[in-house]
Structure 1
Amino acid sequence: MPDTKPLQFRQLKSACSNCSVLELCLPIGLSGQEVERLDALIVQRFKVRKGAALYREGDPLRSLYAVRLGSFKTNVLSVDGREQVTGFQIPGEMLGLDAISTDTHACNAFALEDSEVCPIHFTHLEKLAQQLPSLQHNLTKLLSREIVRDHDMLMLLGTMNSDERLAAFLLNLSQRLNQRGYSAKNFVLKMRREEIGSYLGLRLETICRGIAHLRDQGLVEISGRDVKIHNLEGLKQMIAGCHRPTLC
């Protein structure tokens, strides 16, 4: 895979049982012995440089990828080359689920920063899941989460104004980062504002105005890519009643 960089041999063992995002990833709920069997499927972790593709639309399904370090975006391109961002993935989340139905990827996945993934060969994973009901249950939950994510996105685009969409995005990212032990109020955006706009269905100038509006209300201050949330409860109240605050 030309866009990726394998780790050195001494680093190849993935050690799911010692991973910092184990509780958020595919092995959740598995026993120690079951985690070891899943760990054996991960031949090697590998790094993906910033801007490089993990996979592209039309590539055959080979593996699912657990994000261990860094972050990614998924997107699709229109016939005339316009980008539509479909999601952002951070440690503990899975990439590649889009290919399960047709055995080919329906989108592109690019690293937003220097990142690292754990590839899990899908055919081997299916066979192991048949032997481990807990693993099969986790796979089903992952697929269900994708469906819920799509429903949430449709709700966001259909019922929220531009400021509410931006507030929901920042609140969701805050919650996901906090689950991973990071600050809920101070973090760095790995994606560009144009990419956020594409994901939320908003123009760049609308995103910029929304950032100014949130600042003027004393809710959030964004300088460059540095985010400081001054009022989490205010953000929650802003979108209360129009959408579940757990969009991911």
Structure 2
Amino acid sequence: MDIQSLKVACSSCNLRELCLPMGLSAPEMVRLEDVVSNRRRVKRGAALFTIGEPFTALYAVRSGFFKTCVTSIDGRDQVTGFQMMGEIIGMDGIVHDQHACDAVALEDAEVCVLPFDKIEQLSREFSALQHHVHKIMSREIVRDQSVMLLLGTMRAEERLAAFLLNLVQRLHARGFSQSELVLRMTREEIGSYLGMKLETVSRTFSRFMDDDIIEVKQRYVLIKDTQGLEALANPHAAAGNAKAERNISAS
């Protein structure tokens, strides 16, 4: 890893609205920029941090993609999440002062280092920053609950549809297309995250293509029928909407 001691200008970063709180005054922003004093570059396949490593900082992803994973009892890697630019990773280490997962770069990446002790100190002084940290923690809890819902109640088609929709929505919030994406993770990694075998992931992608919902060329995915994908991800809502439309037509 190459650590650069470069000044990170948070106020001019195009990801500011995604990873920093709104409403900080100019003096508060200057103090925050003093804390975020360096960036770290992580090569594809390298770990930003590993299980058991002492927890010292949070990391704002500036570019690239990461996966977080743990090792199962039988020695397999279990993917627990995918993180992209503008998102904060490393909160798993807060509870026991050491990281509970590995964070591995899926492509060459760069992160801003946020020393946690200094962030905590500033949070006590700036209510906007404290609220933002709490908001990030809450988002992680909600995301974990969503994954449990995926694994516990959804069929394969529903899981993959929900995954693709979530991914493209997060990318769109960063200025990318609403219908196109490049998968930075392998199908095996997608399967690990969604609790699906590799063969099931490939078969489900093929089914979506046969139904003309998506187009796939290697890792490039074009969503051709967003409503169709949404109906697959949430069939109960789609059925309810169809029933409501029928009732309106009948009246």
Local SS of the residue matching 1:180: coil
> Within the alignment, does 1:227 sit opposite 2:224 as a pair?
no
Aligned counterpart, 1:147:
141
Matched-pair contact (CA < 8 Å) for 1:27–1:35: no
- Alpha-carbon deviations, 1:146-169, whole Å to 9, x = none? 110111111111121001100100
Aligned counterpart, 2:170:
176
Aligned counterpart, 2:69:
75
> Within the alignment, does 1:100 sit opposite 2:97 as a pair?
no
CA RMSD of aligned residues (A): 1.3
Matched-pair contact (CA < 8 Å) for 1:63–1:119: yes
Matched-pair contact (CA < 8 Å) for 2:158–2:234: no
Aligned counterpart, 1:163:
157
Cα gap change, 1:239 to 1:79, in 2 (>3 Å)? closer
- Residues in 2 aligned to 1:177 and 1:97: alpha-carbon distance in whole angstroms: 22
Local SS of the residue matching 2:35: coil
Local SS of the residue matching 1:149: helix
Local SS of the residue matching 1:136: helix
Quick check: 136-145 or 34-43, which moved more? Answer: 34-43
Which one has the bigger helix percentage?
2
Aligned counterpart, 1:47:
41
- Residues in 1 aligned to 2:52 and 2:65: alpha-carbon distance in whole angstroms: 22
Q: Map residues 4-153 of structure 1 onto 2, 5 A cutoff.
A: 4-7=1-4, 12-153=6-147
- Residues in 1 aligned to 2:116 and 2:226: alpha-carbon distance in whole angstroms: 39
Local SS of the residue matching 2:48: strand
Structure 1, unpaired ranges of 5+: 244-248
Deviation at residue 241 of structure 1 after TM alignment: 5.2
Counterpart AA for 1:193: R
- Alpha-carbon deviations, 1:125-180, whole Å to 9, x = none? 10010000100000100110111011111111112100110010000000000000
Local SS of the residue matching 2:151: helix
Local SS of the residue matching 1:228: strand
- Residues in 2 aligned to 1:223 and 1:85: alpha-carbon distance in whole angstroms: 24
Counterpart AA for 2:59: Y
Cα gap change, 1:209 to 1:29, in 2 (>3 Å)? farther
- Alpha-carbon deviations, 1:88-124, whole Å to 9, x = none? 0001101100011111100000001000000110011
Structure 2, unpaired ranges of 5+: 238-251
- Residues in 2 aligned to 1:230 and 1:56: alpha-carbon distance in whole angstroms: 38
Aligned counterpart, 1:236:
230
Counterpart AA for 1:72: F
Return the index of the structure with the highest Cα Rg: 2
Q: TM-score, normalised by structure 1?
A: 0.92
- Residues in 1 aligned to 2:93 and 2:192: alpha-carbon distance in whole angstroms: 22
Q: TM-score, normalised by structure 2?
A: 0.91
